[in-house]
Amino acid sequence: MDEPLPFWKTKTLAEMTREEWESLCDGCGRCCLHKLRYDGGGLAFTNVACVLLDGATARCSDYTNRRRKVPDCVQLTPDDLKAIDWLPPSCGYRLIASGKDLAWWHPLVSGDPQTVHSSGVSVAGRTISERKAGLLEHHLAEWPGKMPRPKRPKLKQGIE
């Protein structure tokens, strides 16, 4: 008997429930890094994390109240995705909006919320807090804006 397709393959972003929408976030934290917009529209990524981002877990330390505490924090909606160019290329929202599938390390695919971290995709352990960073120009980084090359976990010997 065929298994039903997962919701992200059968629904548009606008049709998803709030819970489904929220689950598209893989928890990598890349969108929570500061970016610089240059005259002419150019975009540069940094390794400087939002004050609310926990650098060890790559999770927001106060997700429920983030927009009150960080007024320029963006709450994504399906309509917003058309105008936002700064989401990382690995972002589940961005992938689904462009007709692509989620990566193998995405928690919805792997079944494990830690896969995004163990594969090396998340920002965990790779950032500096905005409280300590100083000038953003001193913390430019290319990796947040590139499609990650995650490492697959090695299978244990004797397991088939």
Helix, strand, or coil (residue 120) = coil
Per-residue model confidence (pLDDT) at position 160? 47
- Find the angle CA(67)-CA(68)-CA(73) to the nearest 5 degrees: 25
> Which residues in the chain show pLDDT less than 50?
159-160
Is residue 64 in some structural domain?
A: yes
Is residue 153 in some structural domain?
A: no
Is residue 14 in some structural domain?
A: yes
Is residue 151 in some structural domain?
A: no
Per the structure, the count of domains in the chain is: 1
Is residue 160 in some structural domain?
A: no
Is residue 16 in some structural domain?
A: yes
Domain that holds residue 119: 8-144
Helix, strand, or coil (residue 37) = strand
Q: Name the one residue in this structure whose structure tokens are 């995705």.
A: 81
The conformation of residue 65, written as its DSSP 8-state character, comes to G
- Which residue(s) pair with 128 in the sheet? 48
In tens, the pLDDT along 17-38 reads 999 999 999 999 999 999 999 9
Is residue 135 in some structural domain?
A: yes
Q: Name the one residue in this structure whose structure tokens are 């792997």.
A: 110
